[in-house]
A and B are shown apart, each in its own frame.
Chain A
């Protein structure tokens, strides 16, 4: 039952995302690859799409995966799944949020989850880096290929720009333009 699987998978993702956005990336990566819904390359491409369209990443990615695997109703189930844990937890917390905020277990738990999120995103950097730089597996020959070197150059420039607070959409447009330039350069030179 694909709809139930979609709902439950994204319910889990929604329930275990702290800090939002890319913190959920390793979880999404593991799930979509395990189910064979998207390859890691497709997921990275979709991150770019999500950054350039309005709305939260979580909703975007669940709608997309749902639509790809189960059509409109699949998209609905996945999105409902990712939203529902938030909705229920907030409804509960909103009644007693002063107590919730000062609760020592909540505070303690958060003191473990905050650094965990940093570690999770670092793990996503490794797996994304592998897909970006070594799409055909890690080897010495791959390190000398045109594709590797051009990706490395684009990455270095974009990293610099992103730390200069250049807007993410501009980063995506620029890196896309660089990619097109590199592609035609390789083809015709």
Chain B
């Protein structure tokens, strides 16, 4: 009964699919840097203007986007789209958020190579590379801040750093290892808490 009602509600929401597409198209076109930069825009467009989801549910969006694989922007778009209008909502929200990037980068890829041979551009990129390094370091510190602190975390951080930076171990294997280690550590902690 409950499921039937839910399905009916979704049916009525199918009308919102085109609006979802255009809203996420707008979000995709105006989010620079991707990921978390998108959350305030989602809040403004989806929560405040369209009222498709409640403010408190936005926290769920962020939490889900963080704890599933894939880019935050794509995860959030798919999740919001699904919540609002089911599968096709998810499909068109995701398409909308990715389309501006896709088109803009396609255009850029046609001209970037030609720019690269200009001397002044070469000089600029020599400086820009140093700036990008600074940006990556900032990204690292903000990820560090979000990370749970403790001996286990520090050991994982350091081990991953050594394995990937110097021993050139396959990143996928390292990530699978960390995931299993995290599960093992938390199960162990659980058992210890019970005993």
Contact = CB atoms under 8 A, between A and B. Distances in A.
A and B together in one complex? yes
B158 A119 contact: yes
Interface of B: 28-36, 38, 60, 63-75, 78-79, 82-83, 87, 90-91, 94, 97-98, 100-102, 104-106, 108-110, 112, 116, 119-120, 122-141, 143-144, 146-148, 152-154, 156-161, 164-166, 170-172, 174-175, 178-187, 190
28 contacts: A16-B69, A30-B171, A41-B129, A45-B128, A48-B128, A53-B104, A56-B35, A56-B73, A56-B97, A83-B70, A91-B87, A93-B64, A100-B64, A111-B182, A113-B182, A115-B157, A118-B143, A118-B147, A125-B136, A126-B166, A155-B134, A158-B130, A159-B134, A162-B137, A162-B138, A175-B131, A175-B134, A179-B125
Contacts of B179: 109, 112-113, 116
A174 B108 CA distance: 21
Query: Interface residues of B: mostly helix, strand, loop or mixed?
Result: helix
Contact of A115 (B60, B91, B112, B147): B147
Contact of A86 (B71, B126, B144): B71
A59 B102 contact: yes
A53 to B, nearest CB: 5
Query: Interface residues of A: mostly helix, strand, loop or mixed?
Result: helix
Interface in A1-41: 12, 14-27, 30, 41
B63 to A, nearest CB: 6
Interface in A40-63: 41, 44-45, 47-60, 63
B90 A87 contact: yes
A5 B191 CA distance: 44
A120 B160 contact: yes
A84 B114 CA distance: 32
Given A51-B33, A85-B70, A121-B139, A64 B131 contact: no
Contacts of A14: 69-71
Given A59-B71, A64-B108, A94-B82, 12 more contacts: A25-B136, A48-B132, A55-B73, A56-B38, A72-B106, A113-B178, A116-B157, A120-B161, A151-B127, A162-B138, A177-B127, A182-B126
B116 to A, nearest CB: 8
Nearest to B153: A115
